[in-house]
Amino acid sequence: MSRPLTSAELDIFQIARDHLGPQNTERDVFFTDDGSAAIFAKSPDGSPCIMLHLTNLAGFIRDGQMTRADIVQDIKEGCGGSAA
C-alpha cells in the first residue's frame, strides 16, 4: 500500500530529516497493513538508528501527549546522540 503522507506525518518526517540528514527520503517511508506510515530513519553515517511510526507520532502531537521537542529527544537518544 502506498499513499501520500498527511501534513502531520510529513511534519514528523521533516523533524527526522532536519536532525538526521537528507539520506532519509520519502522513498524510505513504508506503510503498515493498517495504512500507517513509518520509517527506519538513518543516522548521518547511513546506518539505521530508529524506527519512527509517523502516523502515531503525529497523533501524539495532535493530542498533546508529545511535543516536537520530545520527538527530537527520542531521535537523539535512539541514534546514540548522532542527531544534530
Rounded alpha-carbon distances, angstroms, from residue 11 to 19, 45, 71, 80: 13, 23, 11, 22
Mean pLDDT for the chain overall: 93
Mean pLDDT of 53-57: 98
For the chain, the domains span: 9-78
pLDDT score, position 82: 53
How far does CA 2 lie from the centroid of its chain? 17
Residue 80: pLDDT band (50, 70, 90) is: confident
The burial of 22, by beta-carbon neighbours within 10 Å (0-12 exposed, 13-18 middle, 19 or more buried), is given as: exposed
What are the pLDDT digits (tens) for 4-28?
999 999 999 999 999 999 999 999 9
pTM of the model: 0.90
